[in-house]
Amino acid sequence: IGLNIDEFGAGASNLACLGGMPVRRLKMHGGHNGALTRIMLDIGHNLKVNVVATCVETESQRAYLAANGCSSMQGYYVSQPMARPELENWLAAR
């Protein structure tokens, strides 16, 4: 069993807790460019876990994250929320 940490850095999900947990994925807010984004990606890469950027809304955000090693993203740039039938059609088209 592995853990996904959502809202990393808030409350109990701080850096001190990461070392002793079987973390597989960190979710981070991807809506900004800068040092914090690079630090979060570095933490994930060094821990050998997947980092998911959330709130990705523009091509420039996607490009920045991809250029800095983030391969998993979610947000309105990828797609708005959709019901299952819409999701099935969306996936089939890809």
Q: Could you tell me the pTM of the whole model? A: 0.73
Q: Residue 93: its pLDDT value, please?
A: 92
Q: Residue 84: its pLDDT value, please?
A: 92
Rounded Cα gap, residues 12 and 58, in angstroms? 30
Rounded Cα gap, residues 33 and 21, in angstroms? 28
Q: Residue 16: its pLDDT value, please?
A: 66
Q: Residue 29: its pLDDT value, please?
A: 78
Rounded Cα gap, residues 89 and 65, in angstroms? 27
Q: Residue 49: its pLDDT value, please?
A: 84
Q: Residue 59: its pLDDT value, please?
A: 93
Average pLDDT score, the chain = 82
Q: Residue 88: its pLDDT value, please?
A: 93
Q: Residue 92: its pLDDT value, please?
A: 94
Low-confidence ranges of the chain (pLDDT < 50): none
